[in-house]
Amino acid sequence: MDIAVPAPRIPTPFEQLGPRAFSFYPPIRNLDHNEWLFRRADWNEIHVVNTKSRQELCIPLRYLGGVSSVEEPVIIVGLVKDLEYREGLLVPPVPRVLEMPASVIRVANGDPLPWAAAPQQRRLAPVVGIRTETPEDARKTKTALGAIAVSILIAIVGMVAVREASRARFFSTPTRLSLPFTANDDYLSIAAKWGHPSTTRSRPAGDGNEFFLLRYPERYLTLVLLGTDRSHASYLGALGRGGRVLHSTKLRDGTDSTLLVHAASSAR
């Protein structure tokens, strides 16, 4: 009898930010400091906290664009429209238009005030000749309007294509690399092949284990190990910019290590 096992949940690109700070673009109006940390994700929004004021905001997913693949000088999270913080909520800004009274407009133009103007005698409006449009003028007008319509259509198609290309660049699965490491490699064997990493960080993995992140900036990636300590940690895979999995390996129980590498990217 087959038993259905639910597939493990794969973190979203925003959950992969982990403890790294990022900035919104365009910046949220009415907020001075534009540096944030990811807190958690719900089914229709994400929660972020400001690194300076410690203020927490809820950003609806419909306002979010993509996460940049470049971390220098800071990770950028795109917004699909301008937002402003008002009365505890994030809302699109509404342009405010103030209509001036007609009397003020007349005074600004140098016209006399309505109560000071002398009554004028009514006169008939002058007769102005109206030029009838010829068939040739009508054809030229139609041709010009058709050219404008085609130009607008081409511009709309171009903007849609650029937007889709940007979304594909943000959310597409990166190409996997072929690296000379397996689950049998540890810190010493990796250092023997590639040399010692620039930095080494650890993050809790549960069950008494830790993730060990070996950063190789000259290769633009970070290797992930798992174990009780660095000397007894085994290789899991590699992360690229933005916390994307660039390489995974087959574990000793026959499973793939991709999910564990994702977990190392999002662990705090």
Quick: pLDDT tens for 23-69.
988 899 988 888 989 888 888 888 999 999 898 988 888 888 888 87
Q: Give the C-alpha distances (Å, rounded to integers) separating 261 from 57, 81, 147.
A: 28, 33, 54
pLDDT tens per residue across span 71-127: 767 888 888 888 898 887 888 887 766 666 665 556 556 665 555 555 566 677 676
155 pLDDT band (50/70/90 cuts)? Answer: very high
Helices (H) and strands (E) in the chain, counts: 4, 13
- Supply the mean pLDDT for the chain: 82
CB 261 within 8 A of CB 235: no
Q: Which two tokens stand for residue 219?
A: 């290769």
Tell me, what's the pLDDT at 3? 61
Contacts for 117 with CB less than 8 Å, ≥ 6 apart: 111
Distance between alpha carbon 76 and the CA centroid of its chain, in Å? 6
Q: End-to-end distance of the chain based on CA atoms, in angstroms?
A: 40
Q: Which two tokens stand for residue 182?
A: 């397996």
